[in-house]
């Protein structure tokens, strides 16, 4: 109970402190530059000054937090990549040399590429198929809701769920893992799925596909509803069948949305480390960049230089998407 009480107090203090800043700073601004009363010239001047300052009162905390938590660390990571374990002695390109000569890096890079190819493709594909089909049936919304559900489950929770499915029992014992039970039912030999080289990566990817398909489905389903009915009616009149309508009329019209879904999942894939950490702890050739970075941060007291280099690799992989996003956002703002 004591823990609960102190938790409540900390929570209230934290939230109140934040609210107090906004109220306090704006109250002070109104006190220092009063605009409600006084001589007309004073009011006009005060109003101008207040209007120049107020945006920065509104933006202040956000800008500070973004700078401290995202912008400055990116710069500092670049600097740290040229420094040694503790981040204090300059080592030049040693970390980069180490990176490109380490087998573990190639392993995790190869696995990351597999993840990048398989997960966004599969999740977008299943999402599109399910979105198309659920739009046509009366219980589509229930189906969508259930397929969307894994989205709410943490990666660690999902790992437990799937580790249970991949569970393996030795000898003649009954298999309690669903996958092995199915294999045995169809007359096969049970396997320790998570230790089979290369293939185990795919068993881990299944988890993320399971989680992300719902996301793809929701967004693509909205895009499909936005397709003008006339285009489809015209195709029906011209005698197109269901598959032709799907591939030649519907998919091309939502191409932009498909790209957005694809890139969003791609970025998520680059950052995933929980699944690997929880499922295999990067054994049996399942290492990925994000997890490798994490282990260099902490293993043996941590090596900040090497960790930073791996983080940079992830960052470089993200940059094309970042540029594309900014361009899109700019084009959109000009269009307004």
Partner 1 sequence: MITSSKRTPLTFLVHATVLFLVIIWTIPTAGLFISSIRDKNQLSTSGWWTALSTSEQRLVARAHEPKKQVQEGDRFVIRGNLFEGSAGEVTKFGSSSLRPDEFDVGTVAELKKGETLQVMENGDYAFSSPVEWKGSRGDRIFYTAETPPRFTLENYREVLNAEGLGKSFINSLTVTIPATIIPILVAAFAAYALAWMRFPGRALLVAAVVGLLVVPLQMSLIPLLKTYNLIGEFFGVGSKTYVGIWLAHTGFGLPLAIYLLRNYIVGLPREIIESARVDGASDFDIFRKIVLPLSFPALASFAIFQFLWVWNDLLIAMVFLGNDADHMVLTGQLRELLGSRGGNWEILTASAFITIIIPLCVFFGLQRYLVRGLLAGSVK
- Which residues, numbered 281-320, are part of the site for partner 1 (CB under 8 A)? 281, 290, 293-294, 297, 304, 307-308, 310-312, 314-315, 318
From residue 18, alpha-carbon distances to 5, 54, 55, 62 in Å are: 20, 17, 17, 12
CA-closest candidate to residue 111, choices 218, 217, 241, 201: 201
Residue 248, burial from CB neighbour count under 10 angstroms (0-12, 13-18, 19+): exposed
# chain residues binding partner 1, by CB under 8 A: 124
Using rule CB under 8 A, residue 95 touches partner 1? no
Residue from the set 108, 124, 201, 257 that interacts with partner 1 by CB under 8 A: 257
Q: How far is the CB of 189 from partner 1 (least distance, A)?
A: 17
Using rule CB under 8 A, residue 270 touches partner 1? yes
Q: What are the φ/ψ torsions at residue 135 (nearest 5 degrees)?
A: -70, -15
Q: How far is the CB of 40 from partner 1 (least distance, A)?
A: 13
Q: How far is the CB of 290 from partner 1 (least distance, A)?
A: 6
Residue from the set 82, 98, 125, 155 that interacts with partner 1 by CB under 8 A: 155
Q: Rounding to the nearest 10 degrees, give the CA dihedral for residues 209, 214, 219, 225.
A: 120
Using rule CB under 8 A, residue 321 touches partner 1? yes
3-state DSSP call for residue 336?
A: coil
What is the chain's alpha carbon radius of gyration, rounded to the nearest angstrom? Answer: 27
Residue from the set 32, 113, 222, 234 that interacts with partner 1 by CB under 8 A: 222
Residue 84 contacts residue 238 (beta carbons within 8 Å): no
Residue that has been written with the tokens 């390109």 in this structure? 93
Q: How far is the CB of 196 from partner 1 (least distance, A)?
A: 18
Q: How far is the CB of 107 from partner 1 (least distance, A)?
A: 18
Q: How many angstroms separate the CA atoms of 312 and 147, rounded?
A: 35
Where does this chain touch partner 1 (CB under 8 A) — which range of 95-103, 113-121, 195-203, 212-220? 212-220
Q: Is 24 left (phi over 0), alpha (psi -120 to 50) or beta?
A: alpha
Q: How many angstroms separate the CA atoms of 65 and 11, rounded?
A: 19
Q: How far is the CB of 4 from partner 1 (least distance, A)?
A: 6
Residue from the set 44, 56, 93, 106 that interacts with partner 1 by CB under 8 A: 56
Using rule CB under 8 A, residue 166 touches partner 1? no
Minimum CB distance to partner 1 smaller for 110 or for 155: 155
Using rule CB under 8 A, residue 40 touches partner 1? no
């Amino acid at each position: 109970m004591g823990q609960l009480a102190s938790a409540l107090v900390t929570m209230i203090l934290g939230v109140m402190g934040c609210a107090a800043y906004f109220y306090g700073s704006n109250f002070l601004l109104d006190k220092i530059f009063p605009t409600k009363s006084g001589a007309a010239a004073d009011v006009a001047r005060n109003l101008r000054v207040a209007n120049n300052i107020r945006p920065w009162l509104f933006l202040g905390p956000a800008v500070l937090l973004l700078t401290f938590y995202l912008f400055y660390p990116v710069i500092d990571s670049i600097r740290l990549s040229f420094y040694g374990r503790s981040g204090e002695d300059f080592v030049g390109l040693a970390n980069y040399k180490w990176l490109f000569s380490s087998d573990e890096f190639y392993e995790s890079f190869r696995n990351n590429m597999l993840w990048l190819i398989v997960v966004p493709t599969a999740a977008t594909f299943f999402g599109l198929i399910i979105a198309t089909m659920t739009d046509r049936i009366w219980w589509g919304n229930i189906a969508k809701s259930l397929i969307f559900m894994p989205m709410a489950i943490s990666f660690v929770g999902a790992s437990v769920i799937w580790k249970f499915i991949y569970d393996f029992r030795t000898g003649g014992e009954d298999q309690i893992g669903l996958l092995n039970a199915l294999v045995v039912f169809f007359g096969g030999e049970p396997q320790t799925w998570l230790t089979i080289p290369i293939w185990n990566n795919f068993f881990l990817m299944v988890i993320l596909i399971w989680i992300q398909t719902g996301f793809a489905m929701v967004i693509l389903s909205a895009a499909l509803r936005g397709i003008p009915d006339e285009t489809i009616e015209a195709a029906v009149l011209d005698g197109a069948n269901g598959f032709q309508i799907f591939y030649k009329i519907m998919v091309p019209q939502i191409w932009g949305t498909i790209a957005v879904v694809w890139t969003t999942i791609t970025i998520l894939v680059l950052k995933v480390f929980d699944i690997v950490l929880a499922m295999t702890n990067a054994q049996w050739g399942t290492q990925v960049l994000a997890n490798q970075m994490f282990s260099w941060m902490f293993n043996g007291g941590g090596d900040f230089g090497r960790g930073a280099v791996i983080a940079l690799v992830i960052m470089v992989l993200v940059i094309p998407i970042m540029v594309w996003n900014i361009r899109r956002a700019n084009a959109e703002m000009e269009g307004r």
